[in-house]
Structure 1
Amino acid sequence: MKIATLTFHRALNYGAVLQTYALQKALIDLGYDTEVLDYRSDFIERHYEPDKISNYFTIKKMAILILLNGCSKVKRSQFDSFVNNNIKISDTIYSDKNIMDSEMVYDLFLVGSDQVWNYKTTGFDKRYYLDFVKNNNKKMSYAASIGLNQIPIEYEKEYKRLLKSFSKISVREQEGNNLLCKLLSRDDVETVLDPTMLLNESEWSSLCIPCEVPERYILVYLLSENRKIVKFAKKLAKTKGYEIIYINNQLLKRKGLINKRNVTPENWLYLFKNAEYIVTNSFHGTVFSIIFKKIFWCDYLPTSANVNSRITTLLGNLGLRDRIISEGCTVYNTMIDYKLPYKKLNVLIEKSKNFLKHLGE
C-alpha cells in the first residue's frame, strides 16, 4: 500500500518539519510505503516569501528588511537540508494544476498533522481537505487540527461538505473531536497523539547535531515573545545559577541571555535534549520537553484560546497541567516524576499506532 501524506512540510517551523518526519517514520516502521506529497500551496508559500525592498521607503526599514530576508534565506536552506536528508518527498511537485493526477499514484491519502483544517492558516485551501481525491475510501486524516473552538457559521456548510466524505478521521485535540462529531453527526472520530510523540527519546536523539552550549543551561523557546515568561526564566536562572539559552528568531538580542539564531532542526533537538530546564509557550517545545523527560514549565500563547487547546489536551491526558505557569506553577516546582505520565503516554502511543496500523481496513 502506497500512502501519500499531506501536511505543511515546507513551513519554516520546527514543529511542522519534525511532525512531518515523525509521521513518515511511524508509517514506515509499520510497513507502509509512504512519501510526502510535495504540494505547494500558493497561500502558504507566499507567507515565507521575502518582502520586496521596494515596498519600504526609509533607509532604516530597508536595512532591517535586508537582515530579515537574509535570515529567512539561511533558515530556508537549513530546513530544506533537513527535509532532503531525512524525509522522502514525491518526485512530482504538485500544484492546483496537476494535483488531480496524484490519485492514480497512491492507494491512500493521509492529511495531517498540524493545523491543516484551520481555514485561517491555509486560506481555506481545499486541497488540505483532499477535495482532489474522488475515491472516498482513500481519504483519511491523522492528528489533523482545526485550531478553532468553533467553526464560524458561514463556514460550517463547506466544512461539512468537505469532511463528511472521509472514511477515517483522527484529530489532535479533544475540542476538535467534539466539534467534528457534532458537525458531521458521526461518533467514530478519534483523538490521537501528535506524531512527534510516536517516536521515543532514542530515535530523536539519533538526529541531534551538537552546537556550542554551557555545561548546564536553561533553554527558553518561545513561539510568541512574552516578557512574563522571560522574567520567569531569569528568576529560575538566578535560583539555580545557570545560564539561559534563548532560541531567538528576532533581530534584537535579549540582554543577559545566550541568543541562538539560525538554529537547525538537528541543533534544536540537541538544545532540548541537553537542557537542565526548559521554559516555553510552544506546543512542540512542551512535547519535546516530555520526550526528553525534562523539568519544564510552559504557558499559553496570548493570541487566543484556540491554539492553546493542544497544550491543555496533552498535559491533561498526562496529568501534567500543574506545569502551566498561568495555572500557578512556580520556579520552585523543580520536580517531575515521569513514571505515571509515561504510563499514560504509552497507552496513548499504542492507541495512536493502532489507528495507523488499520488504515487499509
Structure 2
Amino acid sequence: MKAGLVTFYHIHHYGALLQAAATERAVERFGWDCEIIDYFVNQDNALFKRPTGLGSAAHDAHTALHYQALSERYRRFEKFSRDHLRISDRRYGHFDELAGGPLPYDLILSGSDQIWNPKIFPDGRFDPVFFGTFSQKRRIAYAPSFGVPTIPEGMQAELKGYLDGFSHLSARETQGSAIIRDIAGKDAPVVLDPTLLLTADQWAAMADHPANYPKGGYILCYCISRPGALIPYLERLHQETGLPVVQLCGIRQKVHPKAKQIMDAGPAEFLGLFQNAAYVVTNSFHGTVFSVQFHRPFFTTVSPAELSAPERS
C-alpha cells in the first residue's frame, strides 16, 4: 500500500523539511510506503529577491556580503532533501496535471504545516491540491494548520466542500479543530506536529556536525522573528554561565553583540546544533520541539506580533 503526501517540503525552511521527513517516517512505521507528491508551487528559494523596494535591496546587499555561507546553506538544504525525503519522480506544476492521469497511490495524505492557510498563496485562496481533490482515492488529513484564527468571509462554503471529501480529519492546533467543527460539523482531534512523532535517536541519525561548528558548551539562540523579550534572558544566561552565544540564523539580525552567527546551516546542521547545545533560547515552535527532543534546557517566548491575529492559532 502506498500513500501520496501533499505538504510543504521544498521551501528552505527548517520546520518545513523536518516535518515532511517525519511524516513520511511516521506513515512508514505502519507498514505503508509513503512519498511526497512533487507539487512545486509558491516556493521560491532564490538567494536574491525580486526587486520590490528598499527591503529587497537591503536583503540582497546582506546576501551579497554573506554569499558563501548562504550558498552553502542552499546546498545543504538540497542535500537534505535528496538524502532524507522520498519525492515522486514526476514534478507537477498545477492541479490539472495531477488530475489528468492515474497516480500510484492508495490514499492521499494532506500533511502538516500551514498547507490550509489561504493567505500563503498568491491569490489569497485555498489551493485544492492540498486537500487532495485531484484524486478519487481515500483522503486523510494529518495535523494541517490553517494559520489564521477565522476563515475569510465568502470562503466557508468552498472549505466545507473540501473537508467533506476526507475520511479522517485532524488538526495541529485547537483553533484548526474548531474551524473544522464549525465549517464541516466534523470532529477533528488535535494531534502532534510530526516532528514529535520521531525519537531523539531517529533525529540524531539525520544530524550533521561540521568540523568548524562548536561542539558543545554554548547557548544556542534561534529566532524566527524579532527576539524581543528573549534579549534580557539571553544576556542574563550568558553572564551567569559564561558560555558563548551561538546564533542559528532564522533571522539575519544579530541578537547579541558577542554572538557567533551561523548562516550556512541546513536541516542536518540545525539538528546537530540543537543536539550539542548546553542551553537554548528561542521564539520558534520547532526550536522548542527540538530542545525537548534532545533534552536541552530551553527558554521560549512568543513575540507580540505572533500573539495577535492572525498568527495566534
Q: Give % identity.
A: 30
Could you tell me the TM-score, scaled by structure 2's length? Answer: 0.88
Greater relative CO, 1 or 2 (CA 8 Å, sep 6+):
2
SS at match of 2:220: strand
Moved more, 122-131 or 248-257: 248-257
> How far apart, in 1, do the equivalents of 2:64 and 2:233 lie?
33
Amino acid at match of 1:21: A
Match of 2:79 in 1: 81
Gaps of 5+ in 1: 310-361
> How far apart, in 1, do the equivalents of 2:251 and 2:189 lie?
38
Shift of 1:183: 1.0
Gaps of 5+ in 2: none
- What do the CA deviations read for 1:244-277 (whole angstroms, capped 9, x no partner)? 1111255554421111111121111111111111
SS at match of 1:190: coil
Distance 1:29 1:293, change over 3 A: same
Distance 1:68 1:122, change over 3 A: farther
Is the 1:210–1:270 Cα contact (8 Å) retained in structure 2? yes
Distance 1:105 1:71, change over 3 A: same
Match of 2:221 in 1: 220
SS at match of 2:229: helix
- Work out whether 1:281 is the aligned partner of 2:283: yes
> How far apart, in 2, do the equivalents of 1:216 and 1:226 lie?
22
Match of 1:170 in 2: 170
Shift of 1:76: 2.8
Is the 1:282–1:298 Cα contact (8 Å) retained in structure 2? yes
- Work out whether 1:93 is the aligned partner of 2:91: yes
> How far apart, in 2, do the equivalents of 1:67 and 1:268 lie?
22
Distance 1:54 1:173, change over 3 A: closer
> How far apart, in 2, do the equivalents of 1:33 and 1:215 lie?
37
SS at match of 1:171: coil
Is the 1:234–1:244 Cα contact (8 Å) retained in structure 2? no
Match runs of 1:171-186 below 5 Å = 171-186=171-186
Is the 2:216–2:278 Cα contact (8 Å) retained in structure 1? no
Aligned residue pairs, count? 303
SS at match of 1:34: strand
Is the 1:68–1:251 Cα contact (8 Å) retained in structure 2? no
Could you tell me the TM-score, scaled by structure 1's length? Answer: 0.77
Shift of 1:120: 0.9
Is the 1:301–1:308 Cα contact (8 Å) retained in structure 2? no
- Higher helix proportion, which one? 1
Is the 1:300–1:308 Cα contact (8 Å) retained in structure 2? no
> How far apart, in 2, do the equivalents of 1:55 and 1:19 lie?
33
RMSD: 2.5
Shift of 1:17: 0.2
Shift of 1:60: 7.6
Match of 1:149 in 2: 149
- What do the CA deviations read for 1:110-157 (whole angstroms, capped 9, x no partner)? 011100001012343221122212x2x521111111112111222212
